[in-house]
Amino acid sequence: MFNPFDLRELKMRIWKYQRSVARNMKALSVGSFHFEWHARMEMLERFFFYAVTSSLIGLYVGVVTALFGMGLLYINEFRSAHLYYLVPFLGFAGLIIMIVNMQFGGKAQRGMGLIFDVGLGKEDKIPFRMVPLTVFSTWMTHLFGGSAGREGVAVQIGATISMQFAALRPKGAKYHVVVTSGMAAGFAGLFGTPIAATFFALEVLVVGSVYYEALVPALIAAYVSSFTARAIGLPAMTMPIGDIPTMDARFMIITIFAGLIFGIVGWIFSWLLNHLRLYFAILINDPRLRIFIIGCVLAVVFLFVGDGRYSGLSDEIFTAAFTGGDIYFRDWLLKLLLTAVTLAAGFQGGELTPLFVVGATLGAFFATQMGMPVALFAAMGCVAVFGSATKTMFAPIFIGAEVFSAQAMPFFALVAITSFFISGHYGIYQSQLFSGEAPYHVDNQNK
């Protein structure tokens, strides 16, 4: 029995207790050191994996997007030179597109919807056949005169190629980061805008939330892809807009007003595209018959309204908006309507380039009526309409800086923020989540 008054025994117990504590602390210290060292090694392994894979993704995606983009530019030139020999067969081209995709597409038919689901953790695979199918379908759409873009294809190419590396990820690395890097690489390779591409990939999946964990890998992939595509020969998208005026109170008010208009137009495009898809599916149940009939109607419209002016990328209208060419009020409206009908019918491509044309022509017309710099407001229209329709805010600002002029960033920021908030909760991507509605952020997934 312990006697508290026995000092010798008390000292002995205290000495034993101190030795026990010392042993435990030593063991704990050694264990903590090993744990910290292991954690640091895992972190370095993840960093090395992201750096290497992002570089490889950028290289491969840059090559594929360059070939795709150069082919698309040639196809648009060829169609313009042989308009009346190709556009009348748009309906038949659509029928071939649909038959091929229904026969071989499988999940790949979902396009951007599948990319979003993989990025958000709802799916874990992207079939590689998405690359040749989406390239073939987009080339066919443009060759025969459909009004569509190209960035959707590039993003799908990037995400699909990046998924081939996701299976190699070490412990703790997330395949969402790898997919985001691929999306950024696809966008940057096609347009030559690596910073805008990075932020587009980071913010497009969840509106109002930027996935910063993927920032460095996505930036590496975007720059490598952009440099690779430029080295192969695909030109970057650039358009000089001249001298930039000083932002004063009058300019600020007019810019905000223009942002409201651009935001509403972007919302109209999103609403129309999504509702036309639903309406066409109800009206004509068979997708093959649907795309054939609508394609035949579109062919007539493209030929007799504007003589092919609104077919394909409509680069001529886009350039005219900045260089003082002939721009009419109907240009933005017809391009918007025909693009929505083309994509809703089942033809493939993207929305960014048509939205740029819509924004540029609307901005040029607005500037002419208000006595403002035409090229600057055409550029602001591109930025704002794109941001409004895609529900992105930082990417449009950087697109403006990289494509038009970094000196105009205050104007781009003001108009992009205005259009972003006026467009509400409606964008062109139906699988897109909103930060206030999502049960948890994407960075809690794919662990």
Q: Which CATH number goes with the domain that contains 57? A: 1.10.3080.10
Residue 17 forms part of a structural domain: no
pLDDT of 188 reads 95
Instruction: Tell whether 206 and 333 lie within a shared domain.
Output: no
Instruction: Tell whether 220 and 269 lie within a shared domain.
Output: no
Q: Which pLDDT band holds residue 147 (cuts at 50, 70, 90)? A: very high
Instruction: Tell whether 370 and 350 lie within a shared domain.
Output: yes
Instruction: Tell whether 256 and 159 lie within a shared domain.
Output: no
pLDDT of 432 reads 77
What average pLDDT score do residues 105-116 get?
83
pLDDT of 36 reads 55
Instruction: Tell whether 230 and 256 lie within a shared domain.
Output: no
What average pLDDT score do residues 191-218 get?
90
Q: Which segment of 45-49, 249-253, 398-402 scores lowest on mean pLDDT?
A: 45-49
Instruction: Tell whether 228 and 316 lie within a shared domain.
Output: no
What average pLDDT score do residues 205-209 get?
84
Instruction: Tell whether 223 and 276 lie within a shared domain.
Output: no
pLDDT of 362 reads 96
Quote the tokens at residue 417: 């923020």
> Last residue of a domain, which of 185, 210, 237?
237
Measured between alpha carbons, how far is 147 from 297 in angstroms, rounded to an integer? 13
Task: Please give the mean pLDDT across all residues of the chain.
Answer: 86
The answer, yes or no, to whether residue 426 has pLDDT greater than 90, is: no
> Last residue of a domain, which of 237, 261, 279?
237
> Last residue of a domain, which of 189, 216, 237?
237
Residue with the bigger pLDDT between 192 and 43: it is 192
Instruction: Tell whether 206 and 63 lie within a shared domain.
Output: yes
pLDDT of 35 reads 45
pLDDT of 435 reads 72
Residue with the bigger pLDDT between 233 and 31: it is 233
Quote the tokens at residue 305: 């309204």
Q: Which pLDDT band holds residue 430 (cuts at 50, 70, 90)? A: confident
Residue with the bigger pLDDT between 379 and 118: it is 379
The answer, yes or no, to whether residue 32 has pLDDT greater than 70, is: no
Locate the DSSP E strands across 228-351: none
Domain extent, residue 281, equals 249-434
pLDDT of 38 reads 53
pLDDT of 376 reads 95
pLDDT of 439 reads 43
**Cα separation values, 283 from 32, 272, 279, 293, Å:** 66, 16, 6, 11
pLDDT of 441 reads 43
pLDDT of 404 reads 95
What average pLDDT score do residues 227-233 get?
96
Residue 324 forms part of a structural domain: yes
The answer, yes or no, to whether residue 425 has pLDDT greater than 90, is: no
What average pLDDT score do residues 20-26 get?
54
Residue 348 forms part of a structural domain: yes
Residue with the bigger pLDDT between 374 and 444: it is 374
Q: Which segment of 70-79, 166-175, 287-296 scores lowest on mean pLDDT?
A: 166-175
Residue 277 forms part of a structural domain: yes
Phi, psi (rounded to 5 degrees) for 434: -115, 140
DSSP 404: I
Instruction: Tell whether 214 and 160 lie within a shared domain.
Output: yes
Measured between alpha carbons, how far is 368 from 361 in angstroms, rounded to an integer? 11
Instruction: Tell whether 273 and 178 lie within a shared domain.
Output: no
Measured between alpha carbons, how far is 396 from 139 in angstroms, rounded to an integer? 26
pLDDT tens digit string along 318-351?
999 999 888 899 999 999 999 999 999 999 988 8
Residue 105 forms part of a structural domain: yes
Residue 20 forms part of a structural domain: no
pLDDT of 381 reads 96
Residue 21 forms part of a structural domain: no
Instruction: Tell whether 206 and 306 lie within a shared domain.
Output: no
What average pLDDT score do residues 271-284 get?
94
pLDDT of 164 reads 84
Phi, psi (rounded to 5 degrees) for 105: -75, -50
The segment with the largest mean pLDDT, out of 27-31, 75-79, 205-209, is 75-79
pLDDT of 23 reads 58
Rounded to two decimals, the pTM is 0.85
Residue 24 forms part of a structural domain: no
pLDDT of 105 reads 83
Instruction: Tell whether 170 and 280 lie within a shared domain.
Output: no
Total tally of structural domains belonging to the chain = 2
The answer, yes or no, to whether residue 205 has pLDDT greater than 50, is: yes
Quote the tokens at residue 392: 């992105």
